[in-house]
Amino acid sequence: MRLAATAAFTLAMTLLSQPSAARTICTVLARPDTGAALFAEGDCDRRATPASTFKVALAVMAYDAGILTDARSPAWPYRAGYVDWGGAAWRQTTDPAAWMKHSVVWYSQQIALRMGADELVRYGRALSYGNADFSGDRGQDNGLERSWIASSLEISPNEQVAFLSRLVSRTLPVSAEAMDKAASIVEQRALPDGWMLHGKTGGAYPRRADGSFDRSRGWGWYVGWAERDGRRVVFARLDQDETARRGSPGLRTRDAFIADWPRLFRSID
């Protein structure tokens, strides 16, 4: 485990040393007990699509509403017609743990359909999750399918850490059980310096006026919290590509954040 973490950390450091084709919009770290920023760099009030980082909030909502019950239930089968551009991991029966691990979009869509637009809005406002706009693309009636993917729902890095602070401190207006279960399925990554990151990536491409996606301006998110020796720090990083690149903007943002972690930690230590 430690060898794998060290290798991943070394790779991330190598990637950071290479010329970047993305710029960081914001990096912010905060105390979960108060939400007060410990470090902020960039335009941290700038809103963007949450993309797959919304899964953390959606998990809180779905556990509280009783749509999800634990890490393995419900397990829903993949059906023809579901979005499957995520590859083989999306074309299989999926439970909450696999949903979060593989960032399965159709599972999010099935949760949203079961919850309904009114409940999504109610929870979004109660959680103060960005603009809580689940209407979707104008005139398309697709809010339950893609409002969180380069569409109507937007959130800033500061709003991300405010939400995460309340999740980590267990002060969201939902059941404690819902918060515990949602937090438990967020990916964990051990760093060589003893910190454990709990984080979710997200990536999406802005819409042009003609409805096409601008693949050269991809948004990349990495949000979550870090723990070591009883200390917790919540974080959010938002990057945006400046040229078209292969692979996920969210994964690149995660790797860049991990590579930058020693500097960030020194700034708050």
Beta partners for 37?
30
pLDDT of 15 reads 40
Q: Could you say which architecture CATH assigns to the domain 2-264?
A: 3-Layer(aba) Sandwich (3.40)
* Domain layout of the chain by residue ranges: 2-264
- Annotation says 52 is catalytic: yes
pTM: 0.90
pLDDT of 133 reads 98
Say which residue the tokens 């963007």 belong to: 48
Instruction: Say whether 247 sits in a helix, a strand or coil.
Output: coil
**Confidence band, pLDDT 50/70/90 cuts, at residue 20:** low
pLDDT digits (tens, 9 = 90+) for 32-57: 998 899 999 999 999 999 999 999 99
Cα–Cα distance between 99 and 52 in angstroms, integer?
A: 11
pLDDT digits (tens, 9 = 90+) for 230-250: 999 999 999 998 787 777 899
Instruction: Say whether 162 sits in a helix, a strand or coil.
Output: helix
193 vs 163, higher pLDDT: 163
Name 59's Cβ contacts closer than 8 Å, sequence gap at least 6.
68, 96, 100, 181, 182, 185
Judged against a pLDDT cut of 90, whether residue 10 lies above it is answered with no
| Catalytic-labelled residue, pool 17, 20, 52, 147 | 52
**Confidence band, pLDDT 50/70/90 cuts, at residue 215:** confident
